[in-house]
Structure 1
Amino acid sequence: MKNERIRGKTVVITGASGGLGEQIAYLCAQNGANLILLARNIEKLNHLSERIHDEYGVNCPGLALDVSNPDQISAVFKRIYETEGEIDVLVNNAGYGIFSNAIDINLTDLEGMFSVNVIGLIACTREVIPHMCKRKSGHIINIASQAGKLATPKSSVYAATKHAVLGFSNSLRMELSQYGVFVTAVNPGPIHTDFFQKADPEGSYLKNLGQFILDPEKVASNIVSIMLTNHREINMPRWMNWTATLHTLAPRLVESLGRKAFFKK
């Protein structure tokens, strides 16, 4: 996968210590981009930063950031602008989910998911908007989910956070279009990452998905390939996005036909 547009550009990735964020980092480095990796686990970040720098020779500092902490966000992005310069691409990848029936979800988990998936994402985005608008250049990539298009049982709160991400992205895209700043929403289905260790500790959802689970490297490749282009959405897999589109047109039909599959969590 080649993307010469990002060579020498600076890409900031939240939630970069593993999973999809880690794969995005590797592919950006392969294309000559300078990276700033953000996550809570500084030990993992340092290991990843050293490996990327040694292998690809690009600038790749790792900074500790808990995106649920607004004060940390402000401090970290201020440091980035003071020490690393401008940000060309922001990938809002940090996020997590917990699968639970609405009646069983506890308030701590509810607040946590909204703090990270929604408020943290918006807070990080607000840090880069003035700079990108001033330069009339930049790309904000928000990792949402197919759950933000089609909510299913046991994911009500998680789906609500991703619906919020899509709503924010769609509005932001129009707001920033006059400044030449791009906004892309990425809507993957389930990806084979550590996400499910927290979302579904029993492993039943992964087991039921079988061959339909996405390869994180393939998802990352699609994301990196569209960086610094005016691309509205990435939707994977296609059949899941078609189902979500059909649900918009005929919700009762989809919910009736898909009832058995939707409850496989």
Structure 2
Amino acid sequence: MKERKTFLVTGATSGVGFEIVKILCGKGEHVIATGRNKEKLALLKQEGAEIAQVDLLNDGQRKAFIEQINQVDVVMLSAGVGTFEYADRIRDEAIENMLKLNVEVPMKMARDLLHQLPDGGQLIFIGSQAGKVATPKASVYAATKHALIGYTNALRLELKQRNIAVTVIHPGPIDTPFIDHADQTAMYRKAMGRILLKPEIVAEKAVHTIHTRKREVNIPWYMGVSSKLYTISPKMVELFGKSFFNKK
């Protein structure tokens, strides 16, 4: 009989995180789902998840929540926020929110949860292709996701002796409320059309990496190719990708 694992999923009340919890519950796993949306948490409870209404931006709430966890086998850090705006127009509040939720929170969560994570466990972060190839109106958001890549690369080396896997999922733009929050003009959603990824697809691929030693997963695969080309010849990629980069 397969041993039942305990999963912790942050950002579980929206987008990819919500779909991840549903998939894991459908597999009969023990899932702790966190988020701020009370109604969405209630839906996840019906799916079989253990729920916790936590504001991860609140240090006190976050620490109190983590202290209640005895052990967790896999941590999936999905919470994130974005605002698309030119660098000379973006507001302080938007910059601070992205830095806190996209950078500080996953780092603090990982640090504190490493005490509960057993040897052989796994940390899975939801990153973004923006962390590899930056585009106009996403300077701050891209910077936060780029920071996550640097952090996880070092973390992977630190945890090697404990055999803890560190995986980062790098999706392209996803058809979730994140898009509506990031670009309130709705122009980006319209311009991207069918290119937007389904959150269910990203969630399936994220779940598929559980218990693997994969460093990263690029969704769709061809964006992983373009990001590799970007490291070799950024000028060429920026030239030929200009029409795609300026859809925001």
TM-score bucket (shorter structure): over 0.9
Task: Give, in angstroms, the shift of residue 180 of structure 1.
Answer: 0.9
Match of 2:211 in 1: 228
Task: Give, in angstroms, the shift of residue 263 of structure 1.
Answer: 1.0
Task: Give, in angstroms, the shift of residue 137 of structure 1.
Answer: 2.4
Letter matched to residue 147 of structure 2: A
Which range moved further: 238-247 or 147-156?
A: 238-247
Match of 2:107 in 1: 122
Provide TM-score, normalisation by structure 2.
0.96
Whole-Å separation in 1 of the counterparts to 2:132 and 2:202? 18
Whole-Å separation in 1 of the counterparts to 2:79 and 2:218? 18
Whole-Å separation in 2 of the counterparts to 1:41 and 1:213? 24
Q: Give CA-to-partner distance per residue, 1:25-65, whole Å, 9 cap, x none.
A: 11111222101010112332122212x12xxxxxx221111
- Pick aligned residue for 2:64 from 62, 75, 78: 75
Which range moved further: 63-72 or 107-116?
A: 63-72
Match of 2:200 in 1: 217
Whole-Å separation in 2 of the counterparts to 1:136 and 1:61? 23
Structure 2: segments with no counterpart, 5+ residues = none
Match of 1:8 in 2: 4
Match of 1:200 in 2: 183
Task: Give, in angstroms, the shift of residue 168 of structure 1.
Answer: 0.8
Match of 1:145 in 2: 128
Whole-Å separation in 2 of the counterparts to 1:28 and 1:18? 15
**Aligned residues: percent identity?**
39
Q: CA contact under 8 A between 1:117 and 1:161: conserved in structure 2?
A: yes
Task: Give, in angstroms, the shift of residue 216 of structure 1.
Answer: 0.9
Aligned length: 248
Matches within 5 A, 1:37-76: 37-50=33-46, 52-53=47-48, 60-76=49-65
Q: CA contact under 8 A between 2:30 and 2:50: conserved in structure 1?
A: no
Q: CA contact under 8 A between 1:70 and 1:120: conserved in structure 2?
A: no
Which range moved further: 254-263 or 160-169?
A: 254-263
Q: Does 1:99 align with 2:88?
A: no
Structure 1: segments with no counterpart, 5+ residues = 54-59
Match of 2:28 in 1: 32
Which secondary structure state, in structure 2, belongs to the residue aligned with residue 254 of structure 1? Answer: helix
Whole-Å separation in 2 of the counterparts to 1:137 and 1:238? 27
Task: Give, in angstroms, the shift of residue 177 of structure 1.
Answer: 1.2
Letter matched to residue 189 of structure 1: G
> Structure 1 runs of 4+ off > 4 angstroms?
none
Whole-Å separation in 1 of the counterparts to 2:197 and 2:176? 9
Which secondary structure state, in structure 2, belongs to the residue aligned with residue 80 of structure 1? Answer: coil
Match of 1:250 in 2: 233
Letter matched to residue 107 of structure 2: I
Which secondary structure state, in structure 2, belongs to the residue aligned with residue 244 of structure 1? Answer: helix
Q: CA contact under 8 A between 1:73 and 1:123: conserved in structure 2?
A: no
Letter matched to residue 188 of structure 1: P
Whole-Å separation in 2 of the counterparts to 1:145 and 1:183? 15
Matches within 5 A, 1:150-169: 150-169=133-152
What RMSD over aligned residues (CA atoms) do the two structures have, in Å? 1.4
Task: Give, in angstroms, the shift of residue 223 of structure 1.
Answer: 0.9
Match of 1:57 in 2: none
Task: Give, in angstroms, the shift of residue 131 of structure 1.
Answer: 2.7
Task: Give, in angstroms, the shift of residue 20 of structure 1.
Answer: 0.5
Q: CA contact under 8 A between 2:84 and 2:183: conserved in structure 1?
A: yes
Which secondary structure state, in structure 2, belongs to the residue aligned with residue 20 of structure 1? Answer: helix
Which secondary structure state, in structure 2, belongs to the residue aligned with residue 178 of structure 1? Answer: helix
Whole-Å separation in 1 of the counterparts to 2:39 and 2:191? 34
Which secondary structure state, in structure 2, belongs to the residue aligned with residue 109 of structure 1? Answer: helix
Task: Give, in angstroms, the shift of residue 231 of structure 1.
Answer: 1.2
